[in-house]
Amino acid sequence: MILLAPMEGLLDHMLRDVLTRVGGIDRCVSEFIRITDMLLPRRVFTRIVPELLQGGRTPAGVPVRAQLLGSDPTCMAENAARLAELNPAGIDLNFGCPAKCVNRHRGGAVLLDEPELIAEIVGAVRRAIPADMPLSAKMRLGFMDQSRTLECALAMAESGAEELVIHARTKADGYKPPAYWDRIAHVREALAPAVGVVANGEVWTVEDARRCLQESGCDALMLGRGMVANPGLALAVRGLDIGQGAGQGAGQGAGQGLDWNALQPLMLQFWREVQAHVQPKHQAGRLKQWLHYLRRHYPEAGEAYQRVRTINAPAELERAYFTQAA
């Protein structure tokens, strides 16, 4: 199984749409919906996760779990109940975000120092949503160190989470290489077979995926920045015999990647979505942001990025990029 990661400010519903059109992804998780001290109106959930208006799936048919982030068990439960009324493909809880602004307000990875509170949150959400609605959680190996990794994982599992995605670094590690995939293995061993464990972190290539699965002992991966940099990565990873599901891919064979020319119609699709959903002053930035990641895998993206990096007017950028890309 291959999951597409949530990435605040990058991997939102527009990029989810495009990347799931490529194929290879079995399930997505949305970027987090911040829960503080109020019951959110339904429009907030559907604004962040518009797939809720499409049966909880991307246009390519890939299921999307909506992710909640917060620290108040009661408020999290009330919002989870409202979210469940919108029939997502499941609900995910964020205990992994390393952003300082989130941690400062007692959200994300900072809660990994409070396994008792984690248990309260997961338990309250589990009781508030239908028994048949999937509940998962995403965590890191810890906040400043790894001393409570297993304790936190057990708190989530014993309180009702049926699947854990583990990013193989602590908050203190940030996104600096390496990811410690082998540290996931003892958690998987403690939880299997009752609770599924998905490995995440620093998977940029098929070889990274092979090593991650081998060292973690997992049979499922979550791809984030690696998939943004190489939209054909999930298809290529299929050659490792990861179990295939709903997102095997349309028009692409398992084990194949995606060349630069084949990517261009999808980039145009992304650009049209950006134009429809993003304020004009930020539109050019969104395309340049994706090109920046694509440079890691495609030499052509580096040349294209240099060509458009100083352009901020949407119409001018469209002429400079898509005319020459064609």
Sole residue written with tokens 């090593």: 211
CA atoms within 13 A on the CB side of 209: 25
Strand, helix or coil for residue 197: strand
Of residues 28, 75, 97, 218, which has the active-site annotation? 97
CA dihedral (64, 268, 290, 229) positive or negative: positive
Is 97 assigned a catalytic role? Answer: yes
Q: Across the strands, what pairs with 91?
A: 66, 135
Q: Please, which contacts does 291-300 make with residues 24 or more away whose CB atoms are closer than 8 Å?
A: 293/225, 293/228, 293/229, 294/228, 294/229, 294/230, 294/263, 295/229, 296/204, 296/229, 296/230, 297/229, 297/230, 298/230, 298/260, 298/263, 300/260
Helix axes 260-277, 13-22, angle to 10 degrees: 150
Active-site residue set: 97
